Amino acid sequence: MDRKSFFLALTLVVAFCLGFADTARSQATPFYKGRTITLIQGREPGGTGAMRVTAMISYLRKYIPGEPTIVSEYMPGGGGRKAANYIYGQAKPDGLTIGNVGGGLVANAVLGASGVQYDIDKLIYLGTPNSASHYVFLTHARLGLNSLEKLKAYSGLRIGGQTVGHDVYINARLFAWILGLKDPRFVTGYSGLELDVALTNGEIDGRANIADTILHRTPEFVEKKLVNFHAILEIPKGERHPHFGYLPELETLATSDAQKRVLAMFRTFRLFGSPYILPPGTPKEVVVVLRDAIRKALKDPAFQKEFKKLVGDDPSPLLGEDQEKAVKELPRDPETIAVFKQVAGGGALPSR
């Protein structure tokens, strides 16, 4: 083949490939063109979860072929259970109804919470913009507990929390259990901001908190060395925090396989962030289109900037395929569930 014939053939191949890609995209366009997607949010309007969705909507629309209208409908109740039940059992599996609920979606199902009528193995996951949350355990510097040895030797540490079952409360209990603290006392009834004030005022001695929240909300804790930091729980595991990466990771301090399984369970619960979900039976070609749209939206620098503006944190995406994999690998044996419930409850911590 001479040079001219070669380039002519190459041009035809490229044109065919581009035409094929355009055809594939155009096949999806008629379905969504001129249509409306209803996005069911399992929350009240105005909170952080709603702001995450607000940041996403215009970019999701941009990357769905046909650019359908997307409208939000709020369906609070049961910490997202009402919305999840609706998506699972009542919404038509036609790609025109998408759910967005909090991370309790998986935890409520695995732990057997009342009112759960959905199956996490049958729901279809599209992804989430928020998955990473590194938790740090700290005590006030006035106690002088500037090493793990001193922390473990201290008896009766007053550890603050919001309510029994709250993420931060569970984290504090995990730290206390795995570190083997002596007779810790858990003091609840505070908001997140009130916990910081209570710590400063001497009402409590320590708490757990999200690493980035500490740096953004109470930078004086770090800059003025008002607290001692003891350990970190990485979510996802293995992702080092840029500021607190020097702290020992909690799992490295675990003394049993039971503790490691409970940590793996909690990591998966928290990793799910605020997932977008579809009903079982949604056609695969529609799932592919929506997953692709969310993937592209999450990578868009303009979305990332908008997310940061509205939410205050950088996005930490987890794609639908990864959520699906995490559900399959989630520990669900009765023993781990029973121990986790004990950690998350209001009674004594499990034995080590």
Query: pLDDT for 71-101, tens place per residue?
Result: 999 999 887 899 999 999 999 999 999 999 9
Q: What is the pTM of this model?
A: 0.76
Mean pLDDT in residue range 298-325: 93
Residue 165's pLDDT band (cuts 50, 70, 90): confident
The whole-number pLDDT of residue 296 equals 98
The whole-number pLDDT of residue 11 equals 45
The whole-number pLDDT of residue 29 equals 62
Q: Please provide the average confidence, as pLDDT, over all residues in the chain.
A: 90
pLDDT tens, 191-203?
888 999 999 999 9
Q: Among 69-73, 99-103, 181-185, whose mean pLDDT is lowest?
A: 99-103
User: CB of 273 within 8 A of CB of 129?
Assistant: yes
The whole-number pLDDT of residue 20 equals 40
Sorted by where each begins, the domain ranges of the chain are: 33-131+272-316, 135-257
Q: Same fold for the domain at 33-131+272-316 and the one at 135-257?
A: yes
Q: In 43-96, which ranges are E strands?
A: 69-74
Buried b (16+ CB within 10 A) or exposed e, 117-147: ebebeebbbbbbbbbbbbbbbbbbeebebee
Tokens of 17: 């490939």
- Residue 337 neighbours by CB under 8 Å, 6+ apart: 110, 111, 112, 265
Asked whether residue 21 carries a pLDDT value surpassing 90, the answer given is: no
Residue 47's pLDDT band (cuts 50, 70, 90): confident
CATH of 135-257, one of 3.40.50.12160, 3.30.160.340, 3.40.190.10, 3.60.110.10: 3.40.190.10
Of residues 280 and 270, more confidence is placed in 280
User: CB of 172 within 8 A of CB of 230?
Assistant: no
Mean pLDDT in residue range 11-27: 44
CA-closest candidate to residue 106, choices 117, 120, 118: 120
pLDDT tens, 209-218?
989 889 888 9
Cα of 30 vs its chain's centroid, Å: 34
Residue 67's pLDDT band (cuts 50, 70, 90): very high
Asked whether residue 23 carries a pLDDT value surpassing 60, the answer given is: no
**Residues of the chain by 3-state class (helix, strand, coil), percent to 5:** 50, 15, 35
Would residue 225 be called left, alpha or beta, if left means φ above 0 and alpha means ψ between -120 and 50 degrees? Answer: left
User: Whole-angstrom Cα distance, residue 199 to residue 190?
Assistant: 11
Asked whether residue 24 carries a pLDDT value surpassing 80, the answer given is: no
H or E segment and range at residue 7: helix 3-32
pLDDT tens, 213-239?
898 889 999 999 999 999 999 998 898
| CATH number, span 33-131+272-316 | 3.40.190.150
Residue 158, phi then psi, degrees to nearest 5: -90, 110
In three-state form (DSSP H/G/I as H, E/B as E, the rest C), the secondary structure along 106-133 is HHHHHCCCCCCCCCCCCCEEEEECECCC
